[in-house]
Structure formats: structure tokens, C-alpha cells
Amino acid sequence: MNNTFLASVNRMFDRAANTLHLPPGLAAQIKLCNSVYQARFEVFIRGEYHVFTGWRATHSNHRLPAKGGIRFASVVDQDEIEALAALMTYKCAVMDVPFGGAKGGLCIDPKAYTEEELQKITRRFAKELSTKGFISPSQNVPAPDVGTGPREMAWIADAFQEAYPHDINAIACVTGKPENHGGIVGRLEATGRGIQYGLRELFQHPEDVKKAGLTGGLEGKRAIIQGFGNVGYHCARFLSEEDGVKVIAVIEREGATTNTKGLDIGALKSHKDGGGTLATFPGGSFTIDGDKVLEAECDILIPAALENQITVHNADRIQAALIAEAANGPITFEADGILAAKGKLIVPDIYLNAGGVTVSYFEWIKNLSHIRFGRMDRRLDEMRAHRIIELVESMTGKTVPPALKHKVNIGAHELDLIRSGLEDTMSSAYRNIRELWLSRDAISDLRTAAYVTALEKIANYYLNTQAHPYSQDIR
């Protein structure tokens, strides 16, 4: 049996497709990757030419542009990139983000190169992709992923602008850029913030929480987080600081640090940024066996590292009541079945970690419109609020307290608008998934419901496009 990441994603797709009455051939068209470009290119560094291998997969361009990150990692391969591109297609559909799915990767250990060398490699890779149409503000838009961030996105955007200086929308060729380079405030935190909003929405439905064997709200729940990169850190920070979740363990490759009273996430981040390790963090107890901590008893397990972390080899030992997939594909298809049989509630990746692509959508819109959010109406909102306060004061004969007046008078900043849009998107998407989950007998879990949500939207797009002669009702 094929146990690759891509095979696991496809089997989850097939399980959902089997609950629908899709026209012949449509499921295969949706599932298969449209195109994969493999690039081998040379870069002159350290006195000689070095050859690098990278990929850009476009899973679906039923909507344009295709959207998906670029990761830099020494374990990247084509199977992984195709699987991640497929997840992006389904993720965008679930969230009602009008993109197709894509993904890119460069087989490289970014820590093995200087910043100057890495910039040279990144720009060369960007040139290779853009000349073949795999980077374009209207066709294919990358974003950060594992091993990349705003810095790399700025290099890619700059390389594209150099190659296409007359494209007035060139800055929209990539998202996740620094704020001073066409980026948008809130993008760096977006995936972690989306996980917070997604879990908040779930805990608004007591019957859903009960299915996980839990009660009450997020406050006081014990969480274990695997991975302390951008996603894991922000997720841990927001849940602990704003929702009262006790993060009792953080797991990384070197091991895990635990504290039953709850780790100080800010202190751990500062410790790591200062060159410290989990082993030397004074606020927790270190164990080298991170795999055992993954299996430890807790309320919420949040795998925020890489794919295939929970497999047939450890699924039966997972004790968490609720598993929130912050990473892409952390649970294999077989493990998913084992966990379901044990009554575990899984919040799937194609919904829960979609905050990044949602805010990338906002950034892309901002770049195309050439205006920041709030520029046209913020002062108008402040003026209206001021007039309402004057009206209240004149009618009551009382003065509104200065602190309250200040809060009411402030118009929405861009970050306020971004967070509002993200929270609304996460909440609406969960309710849509939940409705399918509870209303159709053939759907027994949130993951299948999320896939069905995506499939129905994509299938309906094809059914309503004359170029694709499908006419059968998909239900």
C-alpha cells in the first residue's frame, strides 16, 4: 500500500468524494495535480557552481491565481509538494478564498548558507519560476512556508519586479512580504491567529465540545504543542495569553519542555531567540523523548510541525481529547481512522490552519487595489462616532467619560480590519463544515465534512462552466 503524504491526502479526498454523486471523471479532474515544474539551476557561491533542485506544483487553476507557499527544507520532494498543493486547493475552497491551489519547495537547508548566499539562491529560483509562469500576480502567487519568511518573500518580489518592471501589479506576485515592502499587518501571525479563532468557534458549540469528551470553554484547558516555529509560537501565545489555555508542553526535534502549571510562552520565545534551547529553558522540565510527550494526557493536542507525525505506529497511544491540526497533514489516513475509532475529535488542517492563506488574500487585494485598508473611511468613522457622542451628551446632559470617549472615537486600523475579516472567515467556515457534519448521515467527522465542503464548491464551479460539460447534481 502506498503510504506517502500524497497518497494519504488522496485517500481522504476519495473518502469524501464517495459520499457525493459526482459526474463521471469530475472527481479525478479535481484530485489530480494539473502541473509540476521541476527546476534544476546553478548558483555561483563559495568559488564554484552549486546545483539546486526545486519544484512548483499547480494542483488546480480552476480559479486564478493559484496560491501556495514556498518551503526551503532539506527533505523537500515532489510528492510532498504535490500533496501540499492539493491541500491548498481544498483549503481555499473551504474558506471561500477565490484561489486555486499551488505549492513550491527548494531542497536546501537554509541554515547552511549565509544571508548573502541565500538571497542569491532565492533570487535565482524566483527567476527560474517566473520565466516559466509559476510566479505571477495573476497566475501563481507564492507565500512563506517552512524555512521561509518575509525576508525571502521580499527577495522574490524584488526579483520579479526586476524581470517585469512594467507590471504595475508586480508587488502582488507574492504575499507574506514585510509591511514596508507591500506586505500587510497581521500576516506573520495569521495562521496562529486563525487557529485561535477556529478553536474559539468550536468551543461556542457545547455539543461539539462534548463529542471530544470535554466541557466548558477554552479557559483552563491543557494543551500540548508540537513545533515552536511561527505557527506554533503564535498559536501558543494567543491561546495562553488571551484565552487562558495552559500550554503544558512544547515539543521540538531536540525533545520537549513541560510544566503542568503552564509554560510562559513569552519567556520561552525570548529564551529561544537569545540562543537558548528547550533543554536550557528554566521555566520547564526537559525530556529528550518528545514522542512520549506527544502521547501524553491533555485536553488539546496541537501538532504544528510537519506532516506524518501521528501514524499507525503511535495513533493508538494518543491521549488528547481534541486534536487541532495546525500543521499540514500531521495525521496520516490510517491514523485518522484509528483516532476516530477511539472517539477523538479532530479539527482538520484544511480548515484550521487556513488563516495564513486568508490573510494572504487580504494582502493580495491590498496590492492590487494600491491602497491600504481603512484609508478612505477611518476618519469618517471617527467623525460619526464623535457626532453620536455629542448627541448622547446633549440628550442626557451628561458627559461621556474620557476613556470611553477615546475608545469609541478611534476608527478601525488596518490590523483591526484584518483580524475582523479573519475571525469572520474562520467562524463562517466552521459553521458551514459543522452543518454538513451534523446533517448528513454519510459524514461522520469534521475532516470528511471539510473535504465535502471543498469538493462541492469546486465541483459546482466546473458544473457552471461551459468548458466543462458536467451536468449531474453532485448531491
For the stretch 341-383, pLDDT in tens is 999 999 999 999 999 999 999 999 999 999 887 766 766 677 7
313 lies in some domain: yes
Alpha-helix residue ranges (DSSP H) falling in 255-307: 265-273, 290-294
- Return the pLDDT at 393: 72
pLDDT at 398: 81
> Are 144 and 261 part of one and the same domain?
no
According to DSSP, the β-strands at 285-287 and 255-258 are: antiparallel
For residue 36, what are the β-bridge partners?
Answer: 57
Mean pLDDT (whole number) for 176-190: 93
Same domain, 345 and 206: yes
Domain-embedded: residue 9: no
The answer to the question of residue 290 being in a domain is yes
Q: With the CA atoms of 459, 460, 464 and 465 taken in that order, what torsion angle do they form, in degrees rounded to the nearest 10?
A: -30
The pLDDT of residue 469 is 54
Q: 119 and 257 in one domain?
A: no
Give the C-alpha separation, 18 to 56, whole Å: 29
| CB contact at 8 A, 325 and 303 | yes
Q: Which domain holds residue 223?
A: 190-352
pLDDT at 179: 92
In CATH, what number is assigned to the domain containing residue 67? 3.40.50.10860
pLDDT exceeds cutoff 90 at 319: yes
Nearest 5°: CA angle at 139, between 134 and 143?
65
Amino acid at 43: V
Q: Are 106 and 52 in contact (CB under 8 A)?
A: yes
List Cβ neighbours of 149 (8 Å cut-off, separation of 6 or more): 176, 188, 230
ω into 402 cis (within 30 of 0)? no
pLDDT (mean) for 175-204: 95
- Domain co-membership, 315 together with 201: yes
Indicate the residue among 301, 325, 352 that finishes a domain. 352
Cβ pair 456, 96 in contact under 8 A: no
Could you tell me which residues come within 8 angstroms of residue 436 by beta carbon, excluding any fewer than 6 positions away?
443, 449, 452, 453
250-267 average pLDDT score:
95
Number of domains forming the structure of the chain: 2
d(CA 188, CA 261): 28
- Among residues 144, 159, 181, the one where a domain terminates is 181
127 is catalytic: no
- Average pLDDT (118-142) is 96
Are 161 and 45 found together in one domain?
A: yes
Catalytic residue from among 31, 67, 91, 103 = 103
One domain for residues 174 and 229: no
Residues 197 and 249 in one domain: yes
Residue 340 has pLDDT above 90, yes or no: yes
Q: 286-312, pLDDT tens digit by residue?
A: 999 999 999 999 999 999 998 899 999
Instruction: Kindly state whether residue 63 falls inside one of the protein's structural domains.
Output: yes
Other Cβ atoms less than 10 A from the Cβ of 474: the count is 19
Question: pLDDT (tens digit, 9 = 90+) per residue, 219-232?
Answer: 999 999 999 999 99
Chain-centre distance for alpha carbon 228:
15
Residue 457 inside a domain? The answer is: no
Q: Which three cell numbers stand for residue 8?
A: 494519504
Which among 340, 295, 300, 327 is positioned nearest to 313, based on CA atoms? 295
Per-residue pLDDT tens over the stretch 402-446: 777 667 667 568 888 899 999 999 999 999 999 999 999 889 999
Q: Calculate helix-pair angle for 333-341, 5-17, nearest 10 degrees.
A: 60
C-alpha cell at 435: 452543518
- Is the residue at 469 inside a domain? no
What per-residue confidence (pLDDT) applies to 166? 94
Are residue 166 and residue 71 in the same domain, yes or no? yes
Q: Are 171 and 159 in contact (CB under 8 A)?
A: no
- Per-residue pLDDT at 400: 75
Quick one: 50 and 176 in the same domain?
yes
pLDDT above 60 (res 475)? no
Domain boundary among 181, 208, 234: 181
Please check whether residue 92 is in contact with residue 69, taking contact to mean a CB–CB distance below 8 angstroms.
no
Residue 375, domain member (yes or no): no
Which residues, including other chains, have CB under 8 Å from residue 433's CB and lie 6 or more apart? 94, 351, 446, 449, 450, 453
- Domain CATH for 259: 3.40.50.720
What confidence score (pLDDT) does residue 2 get?
63
- Tell me, what's the pLDDT at 474? 52
Please tell me whether residues 161 and 199 are part of one structural domain: no
Q: Are residues 39 and 169 in the same domain?
A: yes
Contact 29, 461 (CB under 8 A): no
Dihedral angle, C-alpha 230, 232, 233, 238, nearest 10 °: 120
Instruction: Report the pLDDT value the prediction gives residue 468, as an integer from 0 to 100.
Output: 53
The answer, yes or no, to whether residue 3 has pLDDT greater than 90, is no
Cα-Cα-Cα-Cα dihedral sign, residues 329, 134, 53, 160: negative
Average pLDDT over the chain reads: 92
pLDDT band at 314 (very low <50, low <70, confident <90, very high): very high
pLDDT in tens, 274-293: 999 999 999 999 999 999 99
398 belongs to a structural domain: no
Same structural domain, 43 and 165:
yes
Closest CA to 301 of 373, 208, 400, 214: 214
